[in-house]
């Protein structure tokens, strides 16, 4: 048994959680994946019962309220999962001497920058989802000394509900499509993120790290890459954010500076390369 395993993966059935379980299996690390009936992230008693049992050395929290628009009206649910839950989890991990890995988001930044956001950059969240994630980050740092916070962006996988699978279906079924071209960020393969998280864990990293694919693009460019990679013929036209108003604000620019992470684990593969690998494994869409 290493200093890392056994690992408890919270949210193992989600898009990232599934990738994390794959990465842990490939790394030959032992892990458990409690279901919601075994660990309720909104219940202090449930969290304590699972974490304080002492069977795990590391907890990876992949659970989050990720409905960005839904959070604007379901404020209580977003706070419970994204802010209060991580705080209670961090407190339990601190009490048991357990290492906590917590996943956060590019949304904690304001989206008005012109260059990649450094890890130490000031947060300026806009909207309920972004605000609750920023509060969750802060709570983890304050409650747990042995924490690793990983921020990521534009997450996708061969499975689950994500932009890549949505574009795969739409470019297959439609003749024409509009996608915003004035929001710039970096796609991130969930499998790539999971593998880097395992490397950071094994390297005993702590603090905050940014993990994305390499490079940057717009949603329009990503949609075109999905279409072309699958050989679809849908005409995709660029449009502005104003043409598709949403309840929650979207960052115009959310590229994360991954230089600190690259210093630790090596260069991030380019987003086009990672996308090609995911498209080869794409589940039914």
CATH number of the domain within which 97 lies: 3.40.50.720
Residue 247 within any structural domain of the chain? no
Q: Is 129 a catalytic residue?
A: yes
Whether the pLDDT of residue 1 is over 60: the answer is no
Domain contains 207: yes
Q: Cα–Cα distances in Å, from 5 out to 84, 181, 197, 201, 239?
A: 26, 43, 13, 10, 47
* pLDDT tens, position by position, 45-98: 999 999 988 789 999 999 999 999 999 999 999 999 999 999 999 999 999 999
Cβ-proximal residues to 45 (8 Å cutoff; 6+ apart), any chain: none
Nearest 5 degrees, angle CA 240-CA 243-CA 248?
90
Q: Is position 233 within any domain? A: no
Question: Domain tally for the chain?
Answer: 1
Alpha-carbon gap, residue 216 to 221, rounded angstroms: 10
Q: For residue 147, is pLDDT > 80? A: yes
- Domain for residue 102, yes or no? yes
pTM of the complete model: 0.96
- The answer to whether 155 and 164 are in contact (CB under 8 A) is no
Domain limits for position 74: 7-161+187-212+254-269
Residue 14 lies in a domain: yes
What angle separates helix 128-143 from helix 85-96, to the nearest 10 degrees?
Answer: 10
Residue 224 falls inside a structural domain:
no
57 located within any domain: yes
| Residue pLDDT, tens place only, 82-97 | 999 999 999 999 999 9
pLDDT, one tens digit per residue, over 3-41 is 888 999 999 999 999 999 999 999 999 999 998 888 999
Question: Exactly one of 65, 107, 117, 129 is catalytic; which is it?
Answer: 129
Please indicate, yes or no, if residue 182 is contained in any of the structural domains: no
Beta strands at 188-189 and 155-156: parallel, antiparallel or unpaired: parallel
Tens of pLDDT, residue by residue over 194-251, are: 999 999 999 999 999 999 999 999 999 999 999 999 999 999 999 999 998 899 999 9
């Amino acid at each position: 048994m290493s200093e890392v395993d056994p690992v408890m993966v919270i949210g193992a059935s989600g898009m990232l959680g599934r990738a994390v379980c794959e990465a842990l299996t490939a790394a030959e690390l032992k892990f458990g994946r409690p279901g919601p009936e075994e660990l309720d992230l909104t219940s202090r008693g449930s969290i304590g019962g699972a974490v304080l049992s002492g069977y795990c050395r590391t907890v990876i929290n992949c659970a989050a309220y990720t409905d960005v628009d839904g959070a604007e009206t379901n404020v209580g649910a977003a706070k419970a999962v994204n802010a209060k839950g991580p705080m209670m989890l961090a407190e339990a991990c601190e009490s048991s001497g357990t290492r906590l890995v917590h996943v956060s988001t590019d949304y904690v930044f304001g989206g008005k920058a012109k260059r990649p956001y450094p890890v130490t950059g000031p947060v300026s969240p806009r909207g309920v989802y972004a605000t609750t994630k920023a509060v969750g980050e802060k709570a983890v740092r304050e409650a747990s000394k042995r924490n690793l916070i990983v921020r990521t962006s534009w997450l996708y996988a061969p499975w689950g509900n994500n932009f890549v699978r949505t574009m795969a279906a739409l470019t297959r079924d439609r003749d024409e499509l509009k996608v915003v071209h004035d929001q710039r960020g970096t796609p991130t393969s969930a499998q790539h993120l999971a593998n880097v998280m395992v490397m950071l864990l094994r390297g005993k990293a702590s603090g905050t790290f940014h993990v994305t694919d390499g490079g940057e693009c717009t949603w329009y460019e990503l949609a075109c890459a999905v279409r072309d990679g699958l050989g679809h013929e849908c005409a995709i036209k660029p449009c502005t954010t104003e043409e598709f108003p949403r309840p929650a604000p979207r960052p115009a620019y959310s590229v994360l500076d991954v230089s600190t992470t690259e210093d630790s684990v090596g260069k991030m593969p380019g987003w086009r390369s990672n996308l090609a690998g995911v498209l080869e494994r794409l589940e039914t869409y």
